[in-house]
Amino acid sequence: MRSIQDLYPMAKNTKIMLGVVWPDRHVAFPDFFDISSNTPANFGTNQGHPWYFDSPDHPDDAALMCPMVEGGKDAEWDMPPYKTHSVYYYGQGTYLASKTLCMLAVQANGTQRFYNLKNLYGWSEAKATQQAMHKATGKRGAVISRSTFPSSGRFAGHWLGDNTATWADLQSAVIGAQEFNMFGIPYIGSDICGFNGETNEELCLRWQQMGAFHPFMSGRFAGHWLGDNTATWADLQSAVTGAQEFNMFGIPYIGSDICGFNGETNEELCLRWQQMGAFHPFMRNHNTEGASPQDPAQWPSVTAAAIKANLFRYSYLPYLFSLHFVASMNGGTVVRPLFYEYPKDQETYNLGQQFLWGSSMLVAPVLYQRWVRVKYTEYTSNYGQPFNHGYQTLNAPTTSLIPVFVRGRKEVQRRGSILPRQKPNVTTAYTRNNAFELLIAPGSKFSKNSFSIETENKKYI
């Protein structure tokens, strides 16, 4: 079986495969499906320092190129009759080998082509990394991946970046966090304010507000990163959806690149992304080379929004940790869409741009440019101030926390909520020194005739 190792003497007779990623340099890909090398003791390589094809140490090494000639040797893998394309460059006519290994590479001790295992490579790497981390430290830790698969949430979280600094990407981050939770990856987050492109004050502020509610804390083993998203409002919107989707597939530790990774962000977009990103499990602001600075301190309004959102996040870390613990032990989601709680209510099927922390907290981020009000559907009690069930419109200025609600007791046969929290401080370590508090939105009330004998048969509310 001819392999990529045969093409390059440096990798021949090793368990290392060579590929090219976006820096256009050789990258060594260990064979994580080879049981003999996939142990904590053997994880990594014995190479003392990295090497490149144009390194003075290796002047005769040729640039790595996959065999891309139609009808040529091994063309069935990299140039098959049915032209498959790389999602990484969706719509640009690129091939599966773009920014990764050639499809003719072999794994599992030479028994399987990379063509057949491509979607599982990130899964196998996350598993090996998590095992090595436990072996080396004896402690839990966080592993983040851009390449996950259903059940990856057992080992890693997902990072939604490198998103772009656009309102569309901010919107996508909301959906992404819910989706990854659905698929069993609750540790999820995006690049707040965007990685690509130039952000702006409002976008970055809103992303900071939303990002405070992206979990990116501890899933059972690790998380997934949704980047490299673009600095657009569309990518902000996608981050909301993405977080929900990854939770559906068992990856609750999920997040995007706040403010956007690709493209230039702006103040408003970055502000809104900071607001939303604070509610993703995995929260981080991530920028690309050459783009304008987009950290929260670039704009006073974004700084203020990020502080408000982050302090709220820190207040409810005990609740967020509890959600991750339950997801780790029993499965389930951390960020979830409303139809998980209301499966018979068809109105919830199209409410992907707001989401829940567990079953008790509803988050309604601002995902569109120049919006100062947000329409949402909620289920009673905004920290002691009751609201009617159903569609509502509420002010959402850039100077306030985005609308957040806790479940009360108004619904028939619905429990209320008891949420643990702490007074926040500037770091999680300092916050943990503060006393615990309980936020209680009562969920039950005795309403039966107090003299009825049916009480013993539990016929009461």
Q: According to the model, what pLDDT value does residue 300 have?
A: 95
Type and span of the H or E element at 18: strand 16-20
Mean pLDDT of 90-107: 72
193 contacts 199 by C-beta, under 8 angstroms = yes
Beta strands in 299-444, from DSSP E residues, in sequence order: 335-336, 355-357, 361-363, 373-378, 390-395, 404-406, 417-422, 436-441
Q: According to the model, what pLDDT value does residue 320 have?
A: 93
Mean pLDDT of 75-95: 65
- HEC per residue, 126-142: HHHHHHHHHHHHCCCCC
Mean pLDDT of 368-381: 69
Q: Of 340 and 447, which is predicted with more confidence?
A: 340
Is 222 a residue whose pLDDT tops 60?
A: no
- Picking from 290, 161, 297, 340, the residue whose alpha carbon sits closest to that of residue 236 is 161
Token couple for 324: 């991750």
In angstroms, the CA 47 to CA 102 distance is: 22
Structural domain spans, the chain: 1-117, 140-415
Residue matched to tokens 């989707």: 245
Instruction: Give residue 210's pLDDT band: very low, low, confident or very high (50, 70, 90).
Output: confident
Mean pLDDT of 193-201: 77
Residue matched to tokens 């207040």: 315
Mean pLDDT of 413-434: 87
Residue 35 half-sphere exposure, CB side, CA atoms within 13 Å?
1
Residue range 56-79, pLDDT digits in tens: 554 454 555 676 666 666 677 777
- Picking from 178, 324, 336, the residue whose alpha carbon sits closest to that of residue 242 is 178
Q: Specify the DSSP class assigned to residue 366.
A: -
In angstroms, the CA 161 to CA 180 distance is: 13
Residue range 161-176, pLDDT digits in tens: 777 777 888 888 888 8
Q: Minimum mean pLDDT among 6-10, 226-230, 259-263, 367-371: which range?
A: 6-10
Q: Of 80 and 316, which is predicted with more confidence?
A: 316
In angstroms, the CA 428 to CA 13 distance is: 47
Can you give the length of the chain in residues? 461
Is 450 a residue whose pLDDT tops 60?
A: no
Mean pLDDT of 413-418: 72
Q: According to the model, what pLDDT value does residue 288 have?
A: 83
In angstroms, the CA 229 to CA 85 distance is: 19
Residue matched to tokens 């009759």: 81
Is 274 a residue whose pLDDT tops 70?
A: yes
User: Cα separations (Å) of 60 from 12, 114, 263, 288, 427?
Assistant: 15, 27, 37, 32, 51
Q: From the CB of residue 370, how many other CB atoms can be counted at a distance below 10 Å? A: 8
CA angle (173, 174, 176) in 5-degree steps? 60
Is 312 a residue whose pLDDT tops 90?
A: yes
Q: According to the model, what pLDDT value does residue 377 have?
A: 61
Q: According to the model, what pLDDT value does residue 42 have?
A: 46
Q: Minimum mean pLDDT among 70-74, 359-363, 371-375: which range?
A: 70-74
Q: Exposure string (b/e) for 320-335, b if CB count within 10 Å is 16 or more?
A: beebbebbbeeebbbb
Residue 41, burial from CB neighbour count under 10 angstroms (0-12, 13-18, 19+) = exposed
Q: Of 222 and 28, which is predicted with more confidence?
A: 28
Residue range 132-159, pLDDT digits in tens: 888 888 887 888 888 888 888 888 888 8
Q: According to the model, what pLDDT value does residue 401 have?
A: 92
Q: In angstroms, how far apart are the furthest CA atoms of the chain?
A: 93
Q: According to the model, what pLDDT value does residue 43 have?
A: 46
Q: According to the model, what pLDDT value does residue 215 have?
A: 60
Mean pLDDT of 3-25: 58
Q: According to the model, what pLDDT value does residue 251 have?
A: 75
